[in-house]
Amino acid sequence: MKLMLIIIFSVSIALITLDISAKPKIKVNVTKNTVSSLMIGLASDNVGLKSSSAYMIGELQLSKAVIPLMRILREDENEDLRITAALALYKIGTPLAINAVRQAIKFDESKRVSKHCANFYYEYSRNKISDEEININAAKTAL
């Protein structure tokens, strides 16, 4: 019973803190060793390690990992892993990464993966339009 309460509490905290925003909240000093470890984890056969590495790569916005993440999104059999790769690509936010997410909307065999990719792409588009409007308004104000 005690273990069940701890699990429920942990899951609740995880869900409360879940955020798919594209910008990291804290600036972190990422070492070469960290990047190397995450890239090795991304190439692992262990699905949990691969998924965790993909998630952290997205959080840290490591553009070096775009190509391996695109490969996972396009070729991996595990839907959850493809969704995590799409989330990481969305968070990285480079044009190549966003294009991969957009292509997965059309071409992924799984409706679930396509739906998540569509949500990530919609959020990206919404944020981009909002940023452009802010820049236009700032320019008008400056005049």
Exposure string for 97-118, b = 16+ CB within 10 A, e = fewer:
bbebbbebbeebeeeebbebbb
Whichever domain contains 122, its CATH number is 1.25.10.10
3-57, pLDDT tens digit by residue? 444 445 444 444 444 454 445 456 678 899 999 999 999 999 999 999 999 999 9
How many separate domains does the chain show? 1
DSSP annotation string for 22-77:
SS-SS-----HHHHHHHHHHHT-S-HHHHHHHHHHHHHHT-GGGHHHHHHHHHH-S
- The one-letter amino acid at 45: D
Total residues belonging to the chain? 143
Average pLDDT, the chain: 83
Structural domain contains residue 69: yes
Question: What pLDDT was estimated at residue 11?
Answer: 43
Contact 72, 45 (CB under 8 A): no
Structural domain contains residue 12: no
Residues spanned by the domain of 124: 29-142
Structural domain contains residue 22: no
Structural domain contains residue 56: yes
- The one-letter amino acid at 110: S
Structural domain contains residue 42: yes
Structural domain contains residue 124: yes
Structural domain contains residue 23: no
